[in-house]
Amino acid sequence: MSTFHAPLDDILFSLRHVAGAERLPDWDDELAAEVIGHFASFAEGRIAPLDAVGDAQGCRLEGGRVRMPDGFAEVYGELAEQGWQGLTVPEDFGGMGLSPVMQAGVSEIFSGANHSLQMVASLVPGCVGVLRRFGSEAQQAAYLPALAEGKYLSTMALTEPGAGSDLSAIRTRAVQEDGIWRLTGEKIFISGGDQDISKGILHLVLARSGGEGVRGLSLFLCLSERADGSRNAVSVTRIEEKMGLHASPTCQLAFDGAEAELIGEEGGGLKAMFTMMNHARIDVALQGVAHAARGADLARRYAAERKQGRDATGQPVTIDAHADVARMIATCDDLARSGRVLCHLALVEEALGTAPDLVEFLTPVCKYACTEAGMKAADLAIQVMGGYGYLREYGAEQNWRDARICAIYEGTNGIHARTIATRGLQLNGGAGARAFAAFLRDSTPDLAADVAGWEAEAARLATVQDPAAEAHAFMERTCDLAMRAARARLVAAEKRVAAAA
């Protein structure tokens, strides 16, 4: 069975020397190394060994409740006990009050160690963000401590049979009776919609309290249990059989007059949900990075031991001596490292709050570029390992299956491509595109001619009435430049640090 090695040094290097995390007022390099290093040890020792177990066993629906694979409840208990669920929750509410940028380091390692468990636990920071921004004081006081201590896990309940990419088609109804909101309807594909590892579940549900379209949608907080301990009217009607992520229960949920609380303003549901979704998009981008890094690690270690073929002198060699194998390993490495830098840059800029147009433009670019990178590297890792890559035993095929979902959820990559070609280019009168071009130019003078070409194409596309047919090609071009810019910044930082040593 393959051992998981957290890419700790690469993560810390990217945060410190490339993304410039020290520009953040609350940043402390030593603390970051300690916190992320601590999590890396926990992930390697306790979380990762469950990855293959979870893949083989999967989740079960028994008596209307989801049962997680063996060992998951124990490890989640340790995770919660050590306070990891409260990393970004303010100290006043029982959390560690640390930066979301630090969370990113933890999150990537978590995904590489066990994407399924990360998927069930990782919607909490987004939920915390929603409550801090849109929740009332009473809601924050009631729920933030419970999320920080790991008593509650949270879900993001958007998708319905008729409402996938198009959330304006949501039909789940929210009706207020005697001052209590009640939800009725069906949600599908809800990650962690039920499980038996946390005491309760806090569902964030997008439901229709008004008329048609997105303006009729509001955001609700719906607990799996009422205050008196009885079950709320939310039940799991099925869990999906999937290609990968077998230990992450993907649930169909029936809301049958379930009691709920409104979060924020009525009709402001999509806006509030976007807070969670923007967090989740970078988190999914980091899942892609994690799969790329895992692919690179599996491939590199295997290739350093596998003897096949001979060198020019007739001596047997390990396969990493072959140029084609070395090329594939280097590509996996590059996809992981450049993608990580891109995400870290976006996260640091978001935390600084001084370049909102750039962050808004970069978020879908990170999601698309890094999830494509994860799939490509996971695929190449199998190729490096030859027939053994195709076997279950070595972990590369699970990495490939688990990586695939990242391009689908949190908005399909096709939808993100459309967003960039439409809203992205129109954003603030083109300010997002200008900020992105400036970011590319600042990365390296080598990109100057290509950036000029991209700007000309962006200007043309901005005048096209329906750019849908050109969206994919434009997104590919955009992501290629973004990854090249990230790579240039990484290489420059490596030279700087080496020169200073």
Ligand X SMILES: Cc1cc2nc3c(=O)[nH]c(=O)nc-3n(C[C@H](O)[C@H](O)[C@H](O)COP(=O)(O)OP(=O)(O)OC[C@H]3O[C@@H](n4cnc5c(N)ncnc54)[C@H](O)[C@@H]3O)c2cc1C
- Asked if residue 165 binds ligand X (CB under 6 A), the reply is yes
375 binds ligand X (CB under 6 A): no
189 touches ligand X by CB under 6 A: yes
Q: What's the min distance (Å) between Cβ of 331 and ligand X?
A: 26
Here the tokens at position 222 are 């719906």
Residue 127 to residue 154: CA distance in whole angstroms: 7
- 114 is an interface residue for ligand X by CB under 6 A: no
Looking only at residues 17 through 46 of this chain, which bind ligand X when binding is defined by CB under 6 A? none
Task: Note whether 53 binds ligand X by CB under 6 A.
Answer: no
Name the residue nearer to ligand X (CB basis): 186 or 196.
Answer: 186
State CA 109 to chain mean position distance: 11
User: Binding of ligand X at residue 98 (CB under 6 A)?
Assistant: no
Task: Find the angle CA(379)-CA(382)-CA(385) to the nearest 5 degrees.
Answer: 155
Residue 202 touching ligand X (CB under 6 A): no
> Cβ closer to ligand X: 7 or 129?
129
Binding of residue 157 to ligand X (CB under 6 A): yes
Let me know if 305 is a catalytic residue: no
115 binds ligand X (CB under 6 A): no
Sole window of 30-38, 157-165, 178-186, 212-220 interacting with ligand X (rule: CB under 6 A): 157-165
* Helix and strand counts by DSSP (H, E) for the chain: 16, 11
Does residue 117 touch ligand X according to CB under 6 A? no
183 strand-pairing partners: 174, 258
Residue whose C-alpha is closest to residue 483's, from 331, 370, 329, 330 = 370
What's the min distance (Å) between Cβ of 471 and ligand X? 8
455 φ/ψ angles, rounded to the nearest 5 degrees: -60, -40
What's the angle, vertex CA 113, arms to CA 252 and CA 199, rounded to 5?
A: 45
Among 107, 250, 338, 398, binds ligand X (CB under 6 A): 250
Q: Which is nearer to ligand X, 262 or 407 (CB)?
A: 407
Which residues from 396-455 bind ligand X, rule CB under 6 A?
405, 408-409, 412, 414-415, 418
The C-alpha atoms of residue 381 and residue 298 are separated, in whole angstroms, by 7
# residues near ligand X by CB under 6 A = 20
Minimal distance, residue 280 CB to ligand X, in Å: 9
Please state, in angstroms and as integers, the Cα–Cα distance from residue 288 to each residue in 30, 41, 112, 189, 368, following that order. Answer: 27, 21, 9, 20, 9
Shorter beta-carbon distance to ligand X: residue 155 or 235: 155
Other beta carbons within 10 angstroms of residue 56's beta carbon come to 12
CB of 156 to ligand X, least distance (A): 5
Label residue 92 exposed, middle or buried (CB < 10 Å: 0-12, 13-18, 19+).
exposed
- How far apart are the C-alpha atoms of 351 and 345, rounded to whole Å? 10
Minimum distance, C-beta of residue 468 to ligand X, in the bound complex (Å): 6
- Kind plus residue range of the DSSP H or E element containing 177: strand 173-177
- Interaction between residue 474 and ligand X (CB under 6 A): no
d(CA 115, CA 400): 12
Residue 293 structure tokens: 């890094």
For ligand X, the closer of residues 246 and 337 by Cβ is: 246
Active site residue: 62, 410, 455, 470, which one? Answer: 410
Q: Tokens 């709320």 map to which residue?
A: 232
Cβ closest to ligand X, residue 40 vs residue 59: 59
Least Å distance, CB 421 to ligand X, is: 10
Q: Are 232 and 224 in contact (CB under 8 A)?
A: yes
- Of 408, 396, 169, the C-alpha closest to 292 is 396
**Shortest CB 398 distance to ligand X, Å:** 15
Helix/strand/coil percentages in the chain, nearest 5: 60, 15, 25
Angstrom distances, CA of residue 149 to CA of 86, 198, 310, 356 = 6, 10, 56, 32
- Asked if residue 111 binds ligand X (CB under 6 A), the reply is no
Stretch binding ligand X (CB under 6 A), from 88-96, 187-195, 438-446, 487-495: 187-195
Residue closer to ligand X (CB basis): 158 or 335: 158
Interacting residues with ligand X between 126 and 155 (CB under 6 A): 155
Q: Which is nearer to ligand X, 178 or 241 (CB)?
A: 241
> Which residue intervals of 224-355 are DSSP H helices?
269-303, 323-352
d(CA 339, CA 433): 20
Judged by beta carbon, residue 251 or residue 382, the one nearer ligand X is 251
Question: In the complex, what is the shortest distance from the CB of residue 117 to ligand X, in angstroms, rounded to a whole number?
Answer: 14
Can residue 156 be called a binding residue for ligand X (CB under 6 A)?
yes
Work out whether 164 is an interface residue with ligand X (CB under 6 A): yes
Q: Cite the active site residues.
A: 410
Binding site for ligand X (CB under 6 A): 155-159, 164-165, 189-191, 242, 245, 250, 405, 408-409, 412, 414-415, 418
